[in-house]
Amino acid sequence: MLKQISPGATLGVLGSGQLGRMFAIEARRLGYGVHVFSPDEKTPTGAVADREWTANYDNFDAIDEFARSVDVVTLEFENVPTAALNQIEKFVPVRPGPQVLEAAQNRIKEKSLMRSFGLPTAPFAAIDSLETLTSKLAEFGGKGILKTASWGYDGKGQQMVTSDADLATIWEQYAGNETILEGFIDFSRELSIIGIRDANGNFDCFDPFLNHHANHILDVSLAGPGLFRPKVIERAKEIVRTVMDSLDVVGVLCVELFETSGDDLLVNEIAPRPHNSGHLTIDASYCCQFAQQVRSICNLPLGSTELRQPAAMANLLGDLWPKAGQPDWAAVLSCPEVHLHLYGKSEAKPGRKMGHLTALSNDVSSSEEIARRVRSLL
């Protein structure tokens, strides 16, 4: 049994956005110090951390100094070079480790690993030329999604392609980058499931969340009884445990899934960190995903993943902000069923996640109706 990292220690986090901010808030509740490292300053995480380290991830002098100041390090997002994690591990544990990050950073490797674990994915192929794109697209039925293999999120670096499109022009945007083509899946719903695992192999997970997207960005997530058939829930739990055990993940990991018309589940992507769809656990669960991240990386007992109440989470994007001033926050705060979370970002931009709201009710459909209605008031 590995020893606990007890409250009073200092936790390090790589990345400084809203996920790090919510992690830091939960860590401070338990009496931990928090240091954040990223290339940016005056960040959402830095605003609530004890210390904000500002340097590039390839600045190993700064990385070494940061690593010496903390007792364990975790991840806030995937776009960190694995070399930085390897350097930090000379001083303290990184949870999850470099092998997990490496798997999540490259879609070709990620899907190949999922297949090696016995988990189904959409058909896929590495694309290195226009000729390969043309032939594989025909093999996939003339319809697919072309993506950069690395460094994409929220729909960036990807587009739908069909055999009758101008493939030569499309390929010009991807040539020179490692690229993957995924066959188009006629799925019925998108869901996600978040697992928690400590360094001793103890595991638990939340029930899956049902997700709705708009413009490739998560829009609304739902949690509560009646959303999925029991066999879908059990299969989703089997999948996230297989991924976490196979990669020896310590911390929190989300698996995004496609549900087909026959109740089958296909792995879309993994995220070795808390996930946007799990934000509703802050208000709806006995122990939220960020508190679970603190507990798991510190080898404290994992918290309850039970849902206290059905819930809906709605993202608040920069599109809601007027050109001058703020949205009508009073409209949100006057609704007793709604909890508002703002990330402290200084500039609102279209498509940028500025906050979220969570609505709680006696059933999922009511929670969703409240969340959508109150957000529309902004």
**Strand-strand pairing, 124-127 and 51-54:** unpaired
The confidence band for 181, taking pLDDT boundaries of 50, 70 and 90, is very high
* pLDDT attached to residue 1: 67
Stated as kind and residue range, the H or E segment containing 238 is helix 230-247
* pLDDT attached to residue 2: 77
The confidence band for 212, taking pLDDT boundaries of 50, 70 and 90, is very high
Number of Cβ within a 10 Å radius of residue 48: 19
Task: Name 81's Cβ contacts closer than 8 Å, sequence gap at least 6.
Answer: 57, 58
The confidence band for 157, taking pLDDT boundaries of 50, 70 and 90, is confident
Q: Please tell me the least confidently modeled range out of 113-117, 271-275, 344-348.
A: 344-348
* pLDDT attached to residue 48: 97
pLDDT at 262 over 90: no
Closest CA to 266 of 232, 241, 230: 232
* pLDDT attached to residue 205: 98
- Residue 371's identity, in one-letter code, is A
Q: What is the tens place of the pLDDT at every residue in 182-201?
A: 998 889 999 999 999 999 99
Question: For 317, phi and psi rounded to 5 degrees?
Answer: -95, 165
Distance CA 196, CA 297 (A): 10
pLDDT at 153 over 70: no
Tell me if residue 209 falls in helix, strand or coil: strand
Distance CA 32, CA 221 (A): 30
* pLDDT attached to residue 337: 96
pLDDT at 152 over 70: no
Number of Cβ within a 10 Å radius of residue 245: 14
Q: What is the tens place of the pLDDT at every residue in 46-100?
A: 999 999 999 999 999 999 999 999 999 999 999 899 999 999 999 999 999 999 9
| The dihedral formed by the CA atoms of 123, 128, 130 and 132, expressed in degrees to the nearest 10 | -40
- Evaluate the omega torsion of the peptide bond into residue 230 and state whether it is cis, within 30 degrees of 0: no
Evaluate the CA torsion angle 136, 141, 142, 146 in order and state its sign. Answer: negative
Question: For 239, phi and psi rounded to 5 degrees?
Answer: -65, -50
Distance CA 62, CA 215 (A): 38
Angle ∠(50,55,61) on CA atoms, nearest 5: 100
pLDDT at 176 over 90: no
Task: Name 262's Cβ contacts closer than 8 Å, sequence gap at least 6.
Answer: none
Composition of the chain by helix, strand, coil, percent to 5: 30, 30, 40
- Reading across the β-sheet that carries 10-14, which strands appear in turn? 51-54, 33-38, 10-14, 72-75
Share of the chain above pLDDT 70, in %: 98
* pLDDT attached to residue 126: 93
Share of the chain above pLDDT 90, in %: 83
pLDDT at 7 over 90: yes
Reading the block at residue 187, the tokens are 């799925």
* pLDDT attached to residue 155: 56
**Mean pLDDT value across residues 259-274:** 93
Distance CA 336, CA 266 (A): 38
Task: Name 171's Cβ contacts closer than 8 Å, sequence gap at least 6.
Answer: 129, 130, 133
The confidence band for 261, taking pLDDT boundaries of 50, 70 and 90, is confident
Evaluate the CA torsion angle 372, 359, 236, 289 in order and state its sign. Answer: positive
Cα dist from 314 to 218, 230, 320, 341, 371, whole Å: 8, 25, 12, 10, 6
Distance CA 146, CA 157 (A): 8
Distance CA 154, CA 215 (A): 8
Distance CA 20, CA 76 (A): 5
Q: Please tell me the least confidently modeled range out of 138-152, 215-229, 231-245, 292-306.
A: 138-152
* pLDDT attached to residue 175: 81
Reading the block at residue 69, the tokens are 């100041």
